[in-house]
Chains A and B, each alone.
Chain A
Amino acid sequence: MRNGWTSGILDRVTASQPWKSVFRHGYPATELDRMATMFTNFFLHLLPAKVHPNSLRLTYTWALGMVTFYLTAILFVTGFLLMFFYIPATDWAYRNMKDLQFAVSFGLLLRNMHRWAAHGMVALVFLHMCRVFYTASYRPPREFNWVLGVLLWLLTLGLSFTGYLLPWDQLAFWAITVGTSIASYPPWIGETLRVLMLGGQQVGQGALLRFYVLHVAILPAVLGVLVAIHFWRVRKDGGLSRPEGASPAAVSSPGAEGRFVPGPQKTYALMEVVQGTTPMATTQAPEEEVPTWPQLLFRLLVLFQLVLGVIVLLGIFFDAPLEELANPTHPPNPAKAPWYFLGLQELVSYSALVGGVVVPGLLVLGLMSIPYVDRAVKGEGIWFTSAQGKRIALWSFLGTIPFTLGLLYLNTRFGLRRFFPDATQGVVDLLNPATLLLVGIAAFSIIVGRCTHSRRMAAIALFSSYVSGYVLLMVIGTFFRGPNWDWVWPW
């Protein structure tokens, strides 16, 4: 292949000065060249020059962060394209959706892909957070990156919320109505906040335009900045967290076949300034690491193909739903949010102030404070930390289910208003399943912490219980709530 006339042209082009002015490195054939390439290429310099094989283990990270990033990329591209056929006006938006479905070439596919990538992102950001939590990867020096991650999770939810409002169908209209009404609950600032979100007092053109600007400009810009900092800190904090110990034998350098020319028999490591006052190599044993090119790059490429393939297939086979045109007089019955907000809707159905503002606010603060409560420095990179941690996680997850179901049963059977019709709102707010769930789980986690003398174990109990509780509420909201938010059987 290298000796045809094409290779002559190719060689001359790649040897020319204009080419070299763009690509500063040639094909990296030696280990030294490969590291230099990673270092000098703008896009590649986001990645380290060498990686530890333990960071490459699929069963350690499950590549969740990277898949999330790829989904974000797909969302940006499909989103930019969809913008060409969308006008954020109440008279137009719904018709634009119909056009995308029936009149625009590949419009349906792009909208479907945008939707499935968005749903996937909501799920994967959360799973990524679970991975980082259960491997204790929030530990110093990565505390603040955990906080950034929580913010990115909130941004993802914000982008989803502002996104599903744009078609201006029934889901959109009543979601804005309910969402902005929740925002009006915090004392003092609530009503102002609602006016700010709606651009007036009523849900209409002003609100649609505001949520559109948030969705396509402000939130993506903030997301981009935070993702950049998030990645930058991963690098500066010493790369991905990883378990100690021997590297798996599976990762071996490719042999001398192909275009790879073995370089000088020497080990290279790039010095980087990380935490501390003196320059310090990011790893103490660089000879254990493998070059990013090709070990990591190849995996990333395959992963991207996989993610894109799955999203395209989902887009081909499953159409994004579109409800009826927004009707400001009648909500659908039942009026259900997308699946990831149904746990929240269930909480809000007990009390808007507690379920929609207080409990979510406390949960977010609690999540952010995890690395500042569990301050141990060592022991990251192991799933559930220990066998005990695994047990606690499992039992917390399982134990929360009967606890939550019990609370819901009590609330349905012996609701406060049924016996005390004149109970003040404060009491109703305070004695609802959301508050009791929050307090019960917090108490349980403190007990676990006391018994095990470990804040890490307390954190595992807390996190697992909340995840279990929220997932359960989500399942209940999805399958067990019917018209008028009454209990129904899913069959």
Chain B
Amino acid sequence: MQRAGSPPESTGPDQGRVSRRALLGTGWCGFLLSIVGPAVANIRFLFPNVVYEGPTLLKVGRPEDYAPGTIMVLEEQRLFIIRDPEGFRALSAICTHLRCTTGPFVQPNAQWKESHSRCPCHGSVFAKDGRVLQGPAPRPLDFYRVSLAPDGRLIVDTAAIVAKGDVLKV
């Protein structure tokens, strides 16, 4: 801003000095930074870098522990081990709606023509292949990768979600 009658900024005694606008601008920017910077740091602080949570690799016993054609519930690990003629699958028992543990599979009845599992919290119903038969669950139950450890035991990796056709043949 140049007032009428005042000398142009490039000449006169002000030459080479920092303009009022630049000084104030820097000051305000610094002020803003002093608030935003710590705020961002504080938010970052709340996200832990190390957590002490359970492992995602679970040893679930030997293949011969599971009779062919059965679905076993592993309560502690919150999953189902399905053994059918094709091999082994690990189906998550964590409801995809709001993470309650869905119940054990029960026989077909008048309402549902296939064996199904019901979630106690909000009534979602799942089929053996994870499909949602009813209720608020937005997607099918997850399948986890099953592999064999060198010692011959089954290993389920709850961090690795696989397609439902992914089978461990034993």
Bound form: Cα–Cα A420–B48 in Å:
43
> Interface size for chain A: under 10, 10 to 19, 20 to 34, or 35 or more residues?
35 or more
CB of B53 within 8 A of CB of A204, answer yes
> From residue A193, how far is it (CB to closest CB) to chain B in Å?
11
Answer whether residue A195 sits at the interface, using C-beta atoms and an 8 A cutoff.
Answer: yes
Bound form: Cα–Cα A2–B51 in Å:
70
CB contacts (< 8 Å) of B101 on chain A: these are 329-331
- Chain A interface secondary structure, helix, strand, loop or mixed? helix
> From residue A355, how far is it (CB to closest CB) to chain B in Å?
8
Bound form: Cα–Cα A421–B140 in Å:
12
Answer whether residue A473 sits at the interface, using C-beta atoms and an 8 A cutoff.
Answer: no
Answer whether residue B67 sits at the interface, using C-beta atoms and an 8 A cutoff.
Answer: no
CB of B120 within 8 A of CB of A417, answer no
CB of B139 within 8 A of CB of A345, answer no
Answer whether residue A483 sits at the interface, using C-beta atoms and an 8 A cutoff.
Answer: yes
Answer whether residue B100 sits at the interface, using C-beta atoms and an 8 A cutoff.
Answer: yes
Bound form: Cα–Cα A181–B97 in Å:
8
> From residue A208, how far is it (CB to closest CB) to chain B in Å?
13
Bound form: Cα–Cα A350–B97 in Å:
10
CB of B133 within 8 A of CB of A178, answer no
Closest to A484 in B: B118
Bound form: Cα–Cα A196–B134 in Å:
31
Q: Tell which of A239-247, A332-340, A366-374, A392-400 binds the partner.
A: A332-340
CB of A417 within 8 A of CB of B134, answer yes
Answer whether residue B78 sits at the interface, using C-beta atoms and an 8 A cutoff.
Answer: yes
CB of B122 within 8 A of CB of A349, answer yes
Of residues 138 through 188 on chain A, the ones whose CB sits less than 8 Å from some CB of chain B are: 174, 177-178, 181-182
> From residue B76, how far is it (CB to closest CB) to chain A in Å?
6
> From residue A6, how far is it (CB to closest CB) to chain B in Å?
58
CB of A331 within 8 A of CB of B120, answer yes
> From residue B44, how far is it (CB to closest CB) to chain A in Å?
11
> Per-residue CB proximity of B115-144 to A under 8 Å, as 1/0?
000111111000000011111101100000
CB of B97 within 8 A of CB of A352, answer yes
Answer whether residue B54 sits at the interface, using C-beta atoms and an 8 A cutoff.
Answer: yes
Of B75, B99, B123, B131, which one neighbours A485 at CB under 8 angstroms? Answer: B123
> From residue B78, how far is it (CB to closest CB) to chain A in Å?
6
CB of B103 within 8 A of CB of A484, answer yes
Answer whether residue B46 sits at the interface, using C-beta atoms and an 8 A cutoff.
Answer: yes
Known contacts A196-B47, A417-B132, A484-B103, A334 near B120 by CB under 8 Å: yes
CB of B123 within 8 A of CB of A349, answer yes
CB contacts (< 8 Å) of A351 on chain B: these are 136, 138
Answer whether residue A200 sits at the interface, using C-beta atoms and an 8 A cutoff.
Answer: yes
Of residues 452 through 491 on chain A, the ones whose CB sits less than 8 Å from some CB of chain B are: 483-486
Answer whether residue B98 sits at the interface, using C-beta atoms and an 8 A cutoff.
Answer: yes
Of A205, A425, A484, which one neighbours B139 at CB under 8 angstroms? Answer: A425
CB of B122 within 8 A of CB of A174, answer no
Closest to B111 in A: A418
> Per-residue CB proximity of B4-27 to A under 8 Å, as 1/0?
000000000000000000000000
Known contacts A174-B100, A181-B98, A181-B99, A352 near B53 by CB under 8 Å: no
Known contacts A178-B98, A331-B121, A485-B122, A418 near B134 by CB under 8 Å: yes
Bound form: Cα–Cα A9–B131 in Å:
85
Answer whether residue A199 sits at the interface, using C-beta atoms and an 8 A cutoff.
Answer: yes
Number of interface residues of B (CB under 8 A): 30
> From residue A213, how far is it (CB to closest CB) to chain B in Å?
11
Of residues 411 through 431 on chain A, the ones whose CB sits less than 8 Å from some CB of chain B are: 415, 417-418, 421, 425, 428-429
CB contacts (< 8 Å) of A204 on chain B: these are 53
Known contacts A351-B136, A415-B134, A177 near B100 by CB under 8 Å: yes
Of A195, A332, A334, which one neighbours B47 at CB under 8 angstroms? Answer: A195
Bound form: Cα–Cα A421–B99 in Å:
22
CB contacts (< 8 Å) of B118 on chain A: these are 484
Known contacts A196-B47, A201-B51, A352-B98, A174 near B76 by CB under 8 Å: no
Bound form: Cα–Cα A205–B132 in Å:
32
CB of A206 within 8 A of CB of B119, answer no
Q: Which of A331, A348, A355: most chain B CB closer than 10 A?
A: A331
CB of B53 within 8 A of CB of A178, answer no
> From residue B80, how far is it (CB to closest CB) to chain A in Å?
13
Of residues 48 through 74 on chain B, the ones whose CB sits less than 8 Å from some CB of chain A are: 48, 51-54
> Per-residue CB proximity of B132-159 to A under 8 Å, as 1/0?
1111101100000000000000000000
CB of B51 within 8 A of CB of A200, answer yes
CB of A196 within 8 A of CB of B120, answer no
CB of B100 within 8 A of CB of A178, answer yes
CB of B121 within 8 A of CB of A352, answer no
> From residue A64, how far is it (CB to closest CB) to chain B in Å?
33
Bound form: Cα–Cα A221–B68 in Å:
59
Of residues 341 through 367 on chain A, the ones whose CB sits less than 8 Å from some CB of chain B are: 345, 348-353, 355
CB of A348 within 8 A of CB of B98, answer yes
Closest to B43 in A: A196
CB contacts (< 8 Å) of B100 on chain A: these are 174, 177-178, 331, 335
> Per-residue CB proximity of B69-96 to A under 8 Å, as 1/0?
0000001101000000000000000000
CB contacts (< 8 Å) of A386 on chain B: these are none
Bound form: Cα–Cα A415–B124 in Å:
12
CB of B75 within 8 A of CB of A329, answer yes
Bound form: Cα–Cα A348–B133 in Å:
17
Answer whether residue A202 sits at the interface, using C-beta atoms and an 8 A cutoff.
Answer: yes
Bound form: Cα–Cα A329–B54 in Å:
13
Known contacts A199-B51, A348-B136, A352-B136, A486 near B98 by CB under 8 Å: no
Bound form: Cα–Cα A434–B48 in Å:
36
CB contacts (< 8 Å) of B138 on chain A: these are 351-353, 425, 428-429
List the 7 closest A-B pairs by CB distance, nearest first.
A485-B123, A333-B120, A349-B122, A200-B51, A181-B98, A178-B98, A425-B138
- Enumerate 17 A-B pairs (CB-CB under 8 Å) in ascending A order: A174-B100, A181-B99, A196-B47, A199-B48, A201-B53, A202-B53, A205-B52, A329-B76, A329-B78, A333-B103, A335-B100, A348-B122, A349-B123, A351-B138, A429-B138, A483-B120, A485-B123
